[in-house]
Amino acid sequence: MKNNDDILEVLEQHWERMDEIAEQSHVSVVRWHLPESPRRWVRSIAASVAAIAIGAALLLTKVPQPDGLYASNLSHRSEAIEAINEISMSIL
Amino acid sequence: MVKLHIHRERSVESLLKEHTGIILKVCAMYVPHGRSHSKKWREEVRDLFQEIALNLCESWPQFRGQCSESTWVYRVATNVAISNLRRFATRRIVLVDEATLDRLEDESNDDTVERLYRRIDRLDDNERQLMTYAIGKVPLKEVAEIMGLTEDAIKHRMQRTKEKLRNMKDDYEE
């Protein structure tokens, strides 16, 4: 490059060509839907664990009815609590 | 539990589409130029492009029109380039197509342009920022505001930087 070349002029022309490149470009934006903060992550995981534990415990402490369906048996409450504890511990 | 949805964000995309040129120019100004462009150069351009774009997306809601939109884009882009921000987690990904990177590489590989960029690589952060605004034709008043200097001081520094670039020897001549 000769020293008498106008630096800005050369760069300006180059940047004009870059504008043309930009016009033909394709820029895409994608978004990850993740929980917004670690705290929310922890809450979300804890809620899932609790839901699984309670669901499993209820299923285990339900007794079959003659019509083939299952119904909660309140007399099994202490067993249910014990089962919840056991399942929670095994998951955690 | 963790879902990945991909969808296009029209407003953010239109903002980026309109200012892709500025982002590319700032990338070209700040990613060091080698004798011939390498895979590393391309990766760094892609990374810096993404970082600038993400910052623009995040800062966009706070933009109140204190200056022109393009000046604001220059300001955010140069700040990102100078601070070399890196994110460990982000909720967005911005992708620029390979064809654009090819064209940018070809364009920057022009001998004169590459030699100029190699001189620019040797400027300090302030000088490079000034040159970016000067070539981008950012109004002097807005440059002064961004850099916290008077318009006269900016004019003087721009002139000095331009002279420095003009008189700089190419590195292989030294």
pLDDT tens column, B124-148: 989 999 999 999 989 999 999 999 9
Between B132 and A2, the higher pLDDT residue: B132
Question: With contacts defined as CB-CB under 8 Å, which chain B residues touch A11?
Answer: 113, 116, 131, 135
- Provide the pLDDT confidence category of residue B1 given band limits of 50, 70 and 90: very low
Q: Are A34 and B91 in contact (CB under 8 A)?
A: yes
pLDDT tens column, A11-54: 889 999 999 999 888 888 776 655 555 666 677 677 777 777 77
For chain A, the residues whose C-beta falls within 8 A of a C-beta of chain B are 1, 3, 5, 7-8, 10-12, 14-15, 17-19, 21-36, 44-45, 48
Between A12 and A68, the higher pLDDT residue: A12
Enumerate long-range contacts of B129-132, CB under 8 Å, 24 or more apart. Answer: B129/B78, B129/B82, B130/B154, B130/B157, B130/B158, B130/B161, B131/A11, B131/B29, B131/B158, B131/B161, B131/B162, B131/B165, B132/B25, B132/B26, B132/B29, B132/B74, B132/B78
Contact criterion met (CB < 8 Å) for A17 and B107: yes
Give the number of domains in chain B: 1
Q: Is residue B34 less than 8 Å (CB to CB) from chain A?
A: no
Contact criterion met (CB < 8 Å) for B13 and A28: yes
Task: Say if residue A64's pLDDT is above 70.
Answer: no
- Where helices occur in chain B by DSSP H, the ranges are 10-30, 39-59, 69-83, 98-108, 111-120, 125-135, 140-147, 151-167
Domain that holds residue B11: 2-173
pTM of the model: 0.63
Mean of pLDDT over chain B: 82
